[in-house]
Amino acid sequence: MAAIIVGGCAVAALAVNDGFAAGDVTAGRQKALMCQACHGLDGRAKLPEAPNLAGQGDIYLVKALKDYRSGARKDDMMSLVAPALKDQDIDDLAAYYSAIEVSVGPPPK
């Protein structure tokens, strides 16, 4: 029974993800040029107060950017940038940053 539930969750997750997979990675890379001073073109933050975006889920990134745009989520820098973003810009940026592969190794000894 657990295998069926897990399989159903995987199918549901794919269905939910399809709604956010509308972005274009190549277009997102171009649009990410305006983000690179804080978040880096590689998605690794260049400022201590900026989050890393590389490898973040596209669903999370779309929601965060739309929340910054609407004012539901607050940040001094993002409140200047996000209002100008169109839905397609957000989808493209989310597609780009979520497509960056991130590898994690063991902690240093």
User: For 64-101, how does the pLDDT look when each residue is reduced to its tens digit (9 = 90+)?
Assistant: 999 999 999 999 999 999 999 999 999 999 999 999 99
Domain with 13 in it: 2-99
* Within-domain flag for 108: no
Q: Is residue 106 part of a domain?
A: no
pLDDT score at 21: 57
Report yes or no on 107 lying in a domain. no
pTM, whole model, 2 decimals? 0.78
Determine the Cα angle at 34 with ends 44 and 105, to 5°.
10
Confidence check: pLDDT of 2 > 90: no
Give dist(CA 9, CA 12) in Å, integer: 5
Q: Are 28 and 96 in contact (CB under 8 A)?
A: yes
Residue 17 binned pLDDT confidence (cut-offs 50, 70, 90)? very low
Q: Is the pLDDT of residue 9 over 70?
A: no
Is 39 contained in some domain? Answer: yes
Q: What's the chain's average pLDDT?
A: 86
What Rg do the C-alpha atoms of the chain give, in angstroms?
Answer: 16
Q: Is residue 105 part of a domain?
A: no
Domain with residue 85: its CATH number is 1.10.760.10
pLDDT score of 1: 43
The dihedral sign for the CA sequence 63, 27, 54, 84: negative
Tally the domains of the chain: 1
